[in-house]
Amino acid sequence: MDGEELTEQETALYDRQIRVWGVDAQRRLSKAHILVSGMKGTVVEFCKNIVLAGVGSLTLVDSREVTEEALSANFLIPPDENVYSGKTLAELCCDSLKDFNPMVRVSVEKGDISSFGGDFYDRFDVVVISSCSFATKKLINEKCRKVSKRIAFYTVDCRDSCGEIYVDLQNYTYSKKKLDETDECQLQYPSFEEAVTIPWRALPKKVTKLYLAMRVIERFEEAEGRNPGEISIADLPGVLKLKKELCEAQSFNESHVPDALLERLVSDTSEFPPVCAILGGILGQEVIKAISGKGDPLKNFFFFDAIDGKGIIEDISNPNPGS
Residues that bind other proteins (CB under 8 A): 5, 8, 11-21, 23, 41, 45, 48-49, 52-54, 72-79, 99-102, 160-161, 177-180, 268, 270-278, 280-282, 284-285, 288, 295-296, 298, 302, 304, 306-314
Answer for the pair 66, 92: CB distance below 8 angstroms, yes or no: yes
Alpha-carbon span 299 to 301, nearest angstrom: 6
Rounded least distance, CB 126 to other proteins, Å: 15
Rounded least distance, CB 26 to other proteins, Å: 10
- Which of 195, 282 has the CB closer to other proteins? 282
- Which of 173, 175 has the CB closer to other proteins? 175
- Which of 92, 113 has the CB closer to other proteins? 92
Partnered with residue 14 across adjacent β-strands are none
Partnered with residue 313 across adjacent β-strands are 302
- Which of 218, 268 has the CB closer to other proteins? 268
- Which of 121, 301 has the CB closer to other proteins? 301
Alpha-carbon span 127 to 36, nearest angstrom: 6
Rounded least distance, CB 145 to other proteins, Å: 26
Rounded least distance, CB 207 to other proteins, Å: 10
- Which of 96, 136 has the CB closer to other proteins? 96
Rounded least distance, CB 245 to other proteins, Å: 28
> Angle formed by the axes of helices 273-292 and 41-53, to 10°?
40
- Which of 5, 248 has the CB closer to other proteins? 5
Rounded least distance, CB 197 to other proteins, Å: 22
Rounded least distance, CB 269 to other proteins, Å: 8
The dihedral region occupied by 315, where left means phi > 0, alpha psi between -120 and 50, and beta the remainder, is beta
Rounded least distance, CB 296 to other proteins, Å: 6
Q: How far is CA 268 from CA 186, 232, 308, in A?
A: 40, 7, 18
Q: How many contiguous H segments (helices) and E segments (strands) does the chain have?
A: 13, 10
For residue 246, the SS3 value is: helix
* Phi and psi at residue 8, to the nearest 5°: -60, -40
**Sequential DSSP letters for 64-122:** PBP-HHHHHT-SSS-S-HHHHTT-BHHHHHHHHHHHH-TTSEEEE--S-GGG--HHHHH
293, 18, 278, 25: which is closest to 152 by C-alpha?
Answer: 293
- Which of 118, 274 has the CB closer to other proteins? 274
